[in-house]
Structure 1
Amino acid sequence: MLMNLDRVSSFYGKTQILRDISFDLKQGSCLCVLGRNGVGKTTLMRTIMGLADRTTGSIKMLGEEVGSIPTHARSRHGIGYIPQGRQIFGKFTVRENILLGSFARPDGKTEVPDLCLELFPYLADNLERRAGLLSGGQQQQLAIARALAVNPKMLLLDEPTEGIQPNIVAEIGNKLRMLNRDHGITLILSEQHIKVARSLGDDFLMMDNGRIVASGAIDQLTDELVEEHLTV
């Protein structure tokens, strides 16, 4: 297993958000984390990345406990993070944004990876353009490229298709599929687009009120589960 969570709970201040989360993540797989807004999907991503105020339980990466080490050390273990809202640096160039990710590489290389340029030709042609001038879809590509500069074994993607035009959603889905299937990068994907989840995912977790309420192979994601836990 690439990653294992065992009875992980997570807190912001005194408020408990996650409650006894346990799952195994196979190397090279894509896990889709589903649920309505406010059920704990983002907190799960932040907890794996070491950004919650306090956690209990165990988080292991390739059998090594990482739940007690800081965020930058988790990055060096091979975890790349694409946060909700992208959080790119608008006054920095495309190149500078990507290079920020490279500082977490364990081999110390500071460079724009060839993979980023191959996947995202627009970014390759606009490395000196200020990131704040990019469209929402282009900024999402940049956020993914920045995470790839870590040279990750795994990517955490929090709502990567949020607020993006449908044609760009399909394009980003295709790029993520390439990263997962062709390059062997494991994905944990927080998503509300069921079509995206079903096309990319191998397995799913359904969350509600900070707990996992259903899980299984993606073909077990029934319309009834979607209706119960995702329909507003």
Structure 2
Amino acid sequence: MLLDLKNVSSYYGETQILRNISIGVPKGSCVCVLGRNGVGKTTLVRTIMGLTDKTEGSISLDGSELTTQRTDERAKLGIGYIPQGRQILGKFTVRENIVLGTFASKQETDAIPEICLELFPYLRENLGRRAGLLSGGQQQQLAIARALAVDPQILLLDEPTEGIQPNIVAEIGETLQMLNKKLGITLILTEQHIKVARKLGDSFVMMDNGRVVDSGDISALTDEVVERHMTV
């Protein structure tokens, strides 16, 4: 397994959010983390990135234990993170936002990797544009480009299609599929859109109340499973 979580619990302050999570993520796979709002999906990816207050259990990347590593150290080991809401710096230019990603790269260069611009021609043509003037879909492209500047072996994406118009959702889905299947970057993405999960995912993890309540090959993500765990 490229990423292996064993009996992981995670806390904000004294409040426990994740409860004994065990997940294995094979190299080159795409794992979709599903569930209703508020069940711990975001906390799961934040925990992998080292952004919660306290973690118990084991998280390892390619055999290296992460639980004692800082967030910046995890990034240098090859974890890229695209948070919910994208968190683009609106007053910075497109170029400056992407360059921020290079600071966490083990390559130790502030040159923008060519792949970031090959994937998103709009960004190449608008490097000097203020990021706050971009549409939601364009900002999501920028967030992906910034994460790719880390030179990741694994990408964590928190609700990458949230609040984006359908035609851009399809475009971003195609980009993620290319990163995963052609470039071999492992993906973990939290999703509300079952159609997106079924198209991109090799496997799924269903969460409820901070626990894994179902998981398996994406072919096992039946309408019955979705209705049981995601219908409000």
Give the TM-score of the pair, scaled to structure 1: 0.99
Aligned with 2:92: secondary structure?
coil
Deviation at 1:110, TM superposition (A): 1.1
Alignment of 1:159 onto 2:181: no
Matched AA of 1:32: C
Q: Superposition RMSD on alpha carbons, in Å?
A: 0.5
Distance 1:137 1:23 in 2: 30
Q: Mapping of 1:198-217 within 5 angstroms?
A: 198-217=198-217
Deviation at 1:231, TM superposition (A): 1.6
Counterpart for residue 51 of structure 1: 51
Counterpart for residue 128 of structure 2: 128
Deviation at 1:228, TM superposition (A): 1.1
Counterpart for residue 222 of structure 2: 222
Counterpart for residue 89 of structure 2: 89
Q: Deviations along 1:78-99, whole A, 9 cap, x unmatched?
A: 0000000000000000000000
Q: Deviations along 1:113-134, whole A, 9 cap, x unmatched?
A: 1111111010010000000000
- Kindly tell me the number of residue pairs found equivalent between the two proteins: 232
Structure 2 gaps of 5+ residues are none
Structure 1 gaps of 5+ residues are none
Percent of counterpart pairs with the same letter?
71
Q: Deviations along 1:56-98, whole A, 9 cap, x unmatched?
A: 0000000110111100000000000000000000000000000
Distance 2:48 2:81 in 1: 10
Give the TM-score of the pair, scaled to structure 2: 0.99
Counterpart for residue 177 of structure 1: 177
Counterpart for residue 99 of structure 2: 99
Distance 2:81 2:64 in 1: 19
Deviation at 1:196, TM superposition (A): 0.3
Aligned with 2:176: secondary structure?
helix
Aligned with 2:109: secondary structure?
coil
Distance 1:111 1:184 in 2: 22
Q: Deviations along 1:24-44, whole A, 9 cap, x unmatched?
A: 110000000000000000000
